[in-house]
A and B are shown apart, each in its own frame.
Chain A
Amino acid sequence: MLSHTLRRGTLALATLVALPTAASAAEWGDISGRFVYGGDAPVAAKLTIDKDVDVCGKHNLVNEELVIGPNKGVANVVVFVRDRKIDVHPDLKATEPVVLDNLNCRFSPHVVFVQTGQDLIIKNSDPVGHNSNVATLKNPASNTLIPASGETKVSFRSDEAVPAAVTCNIHPWMKGWVVVRDNPYAAVTDEEGNFTIKSLPEGEVELQFWHEKAGYLDSIVINGKKTDVKRGRMDVDVSAKGTDLGEMVLDSSVFK
């Protein structure tokens, strides 16, 4: 394991060094927006808990494929910048590892964003053992045993075009997602449906929207008009004053 991690680490480092990281944009701005559910919010189905019932059974776990917040915000929409070569703001250097917790027999947070070369620490705060099976496509997939209060470290060589599912083979209802990008410009919406991507270089960027139940969000109601967003991609102008995309409504049919 050690030699393996080292080898992977070295490679990741080499990739980092090779990347154009020079910050040359003159001005920086944020992009924000909000995803809203169009229609009556469905009631999340209760999960059947048939493993470690005494521990996992007491948390009233529900299916988290589609989480609609109290104000109809669509949570867990992934927003990321597609542009491969993008100037990165000097304050955004990722140094701290990202943590994905096995907590109350679910993944917390449900969707986690990590950059290439950054460590993802998968820990287990539950009194029962878990394993975390990360089904990446471009990176070698990993599946590690994580005992109660244990943790494991995963890092990624290259970005993933589609978020990768994380599952636990011991508790089959558990599912989470890892978004792997090679720049800091990605965000996941909160329960209100809000997202903000901070300090992008001024000018045009291409955003992509993704949700686990819908895939790429290619049909969004903007200003009351159903808009085709080809493959969930949208060109957006970043201004130093900040760019607000406003309310974007996702029809219930998007999630079928």
Chain B
Amino acid sequence: MTHFLPFLVTAMNRHSTFMCRNRFSLSPVALVLTVCGSLLFVSGCGKTPAASFRPNMVEAAKQRLKPEQEEQVATILEAMFGTPDNPIAMPETGLDIGKLRLAAGPVHSDIVGRKNGLFREHCSHCHGVTGDGMGPTAAFLNPYPRDYRPGWFKFKSTERADKPTHGDLVTILNNGIYGTSMPSFELLGEAKVDALVEYVKYLSMRGEAELNMMRYFFELDDEDEGKLPETRDFLVEEILLPVAERWQEAEDAVIEVPEMPEVDLAESIAMGKELFYGNKANCVKCHGVTALGDGQANDYDDWNKVVKQWSDEVQSSHEVSTKEMSREEKAEHREYLARADKALAGDALEPRTIQPRNLRQAIYRGGRRPIDFYYRIHAGINGAPMPAAAGTLTPDEIWHVVNYIRSLPYEFDGELGADRSMVARDRL
């Protein structure tokens, strides 16, 4: 960091690791020694560069940021959040630095023999050191690993747009996500899972703060001269708190789930079926008349949509005639396209369409408990096309749909109440 933000240094001193504190109090020589020493400890001095966070190249190119603006974002981010080896938890984030330290950094044992570097050991292969869902294995997986940076999470107990609770993410880590490459990490034990969840929240806040900053350049006034104001007020109020507060609010925003109505199960399933195919719940439009998930085949989830829409835009910019442009405009146009192509090739995975869930297979990514179904239908699925039914369906109606969906893999053939069940395999 060539220049840093004075106000944040206090925060860093208070909340950062011993090594990080050294960076601001030792002489340059000692600083070099400390950094070299720590590298030696990891992998030999000078051989492997310290891990670093990758910038959000797609957003930077999209916002047409200048190199010095990208640099400013990186500098502020490092002052606010630290590095992959030395995380910082500013008090406004509400994050626990102890947990973050356990999850961050290279894989190693600390002085009491406790294993550190959990994220890099267990998660970064797929989710990437930055939590951008672009680890080395990401391109080979379907679905792609989650990119935490936009701050959207699918499987949770809160309203659609809300963040997940800490407990929601613990559940995901403990159970894995059935039908995807996400395994269960339950055997790591409570403390380690807890540390990893804290670190996922940290990476997500960092990623969203980065997006906020990159988007903010367009809102600047002329007198700002293309620079974000480096005042504590601005960075905390406009960049950090809008993200951090929503994580804190989530803990008290769990959807209230009323009891399942006391009706005969077969009756409830019949009512659910009517809703599923009817114009009110309209499940049939996407999940298909067969419920095999073949109703809507050409939509994208929000992560892929961002890439898809922008790459279409870049593609059409490639086709714009430069004939009438001045030399300056031409150069600017070429530079933009080169950068956009580079960002799309290096910072994005090939966009894929999203398939509505095949409900005959009994594979439920967000959990198979009745309450998980209730949450999904009530709130929809954030980041996915699935809309929220709350307000449109009454809680009782949601329960009927839940019961119908749970019966789909074994749907009775013929009249309800008949006992000839059908397994998914046969139907397919």
A residues in contact (CB < 8 Å) with B:
1, 3-4, 7, 51, 127-129, 131-133, 135, 137-138, 140-148, 150, 152, 158, 161-162, 169-170, 172, 230-231, 253, 256
Contact = CB atoms under 8 A, between A and B. Distances in A.
Nearest to B325: A253
Given A1-B159, A3-B256, A133 B387 contact: yes
Interface of B: 159-162, 215, 218-219, 222, 242, 246, 249, 253, 256, 279-282, 285-286, 296, 298-299, 302, 320, 324, 378, 380, 382, 385-393
B162 A145 contact: no
B109 to A, nearest CB: 41
Interface of B is mostly: loop
Given A1-B378, A129-B279, A170-B282, A145 B389 contact: yes
Contacts of B380: 143-145
B296 A140 contact: no
B162 A4 contact: yes
A170 B256 contact: no
A51 B392 contact: no
A99 to B, nearest CB: 17
Given A4-B159, A140-B161, A169 B218 contact: no
B295 to A, nearest CB: 9
B69 to A, nearest CB: 14
24 contacts: A1-B388, A1-B391, A3-B256, A4-B162, A7-B253, A51-B296, A127-B279, A129-B280, A138-B242, A140-B246, A143-B160, A144-B388, A145-B281, A145-B380, A145-B392, A148-B279, A150-B280, A161-B219, A162-B218, A169-B385, A169-B387, A170-B285, A170-B296, A253-B324
B391 A144 contact: yes
B102 to A, nearest CB: 31
Among the interface residues B279, B280, B320, B393, which one has the most CB atoms of the partner chain A within 10 A?
A: B279
A172 B299 contact: yes
B253 A145 contact: no
Nearest to A129: B282
A90 B249 CA distance: 34
Contact of A1 (B282, B385, B390): B390
Given A1-B378, A7-B253, A170-B286, A140 B162 contact: yes
Given A137-B215, A143-B387, A144-B387, A152 B392 contact: yes
A186 B246 CA distance: 29
A81 to B, nearest CB: 13
A145 B296 contact: no
Contacts of A129: 279-280, 282, 285
Contacts of B161: 140-142
Q: Pick the 6 closest A-B CB pairs, nearest first.
A: A140-B161, A1-B390, A131-B387, A169-B385, A129-B282, A147-B280
A144 B392 CA distance: 8
Given A4-B159, A131-B387, A161-B218, A169 B392 contact: no
Given A140-B246, A161-B218, A145 B159 contact: no
B138 to A, nearest CB: 24
A172 B392 contact: no
Given A140-B162, A142-B160, A169 B391 contact: no
Nearest to B379: A1
B282 A133 contact: no
Contacts of A51: 285, 296
